[in-house]
Amino acid sequence: MKIAIASDHAGFELKQNILEYFVNDKTIEFIDYGISENKPADYPDYGFKAAQAVANQDCDRGILICGSGLGMSMVGNRVKGVRAALCHTEKLAELSRRHNNANVLVLAGRFIAKYLAYDIIKVWLKTEFEGGRHQRRVGKIEKFDNK
């Protein structure tokens, strides 16, 4: 699985920790869309690049990180074909995949410890979309995207 990942300065430290986790995992390929150093940065500049990589199917899924997760959620959900979910717990990560087929996970760099982030990511990556009645709902989102 190939993951697009991006952060602003408030999510930089958590992003770097996640990248270390990915390197050690060896089953996850990733593309880092920035930032590359911990200096002030505007989250849309990097979030849009990673979200677009998911929408274009250059990457299977994405992870966006900013301080609260709110800004990156807004960015991700502006990109046609992206369903970004801000998740603070493993259960929310599971539901975002099972019920909403979220293809972008958003994390709050200032509110989530790195070990919780790892657990959230593990659940999010392994959980499959249930389809069924949930597909009808996701289909309505896709239909709106295509208007």
pLDDT digits (tens, 9 = 90+) for 85-112: 999 999 999 999 999 999 999 999 999 9
Residue 61 reports pLDDT greater than 90: yes
What's the average model confidence in pLDDT over 66-95?
98
pLDDT digits (tens, 9 = 90+) for 33-60: 999 999 999 999 999 999 999 999 999 9
Q: Where do the DSSP E strands lie in the chain? A: 2-7, 29-32, 61-66, 84-86, 104-108
Tally of CB atoms within 10 A around 47: 32
Residue 147 reports pLDDT greater than 90: no
What pLDDT shows up at residue 12?
Answer: 98
Give catalytic residue positions.
66, 99
By the 8 A CB rule, do 44 and 75 touch?
A: yes
Residue 68 reports pLDDT greater than 90: yes
Give me the long-range contacts of 12-16 (CB less than 8 A, separation at least 24). Answer: 12/37, 12/38, 12/109, 13/38, 13/109, 14/65, 14/107, 14/109, 14/112, 14/114, 14/117, 15/63, 15/65, 15/109
3-state SS, residue 13 = helix
In sequence order, the β-bridge partners of residue 147 are none
Q: Is 2-145 in CATH node 3.40.1400.10?
A: yes
Considering only CA atoms, which of 16, 100, 123, 104 is closest in space to residue 53? 104
What's the average model confidence in pLDDT over 70-84?
98
Calpha distance 112→5 (Å, rounded)? 16
pLDDT digits (tens, 9 = 90+) for 10-35: 999 999 999 999 999 889 999 999 99
What pLDDT shows up at residue 65?
Answer: 98
By the 8 A CB rule, do 54 and 2 touch?
A: no
Q: What is the mean pLDDT of the chain?
A: 97
Positive or negative, the Cα torsion across 111, 77, 64, 119? Answer: positive
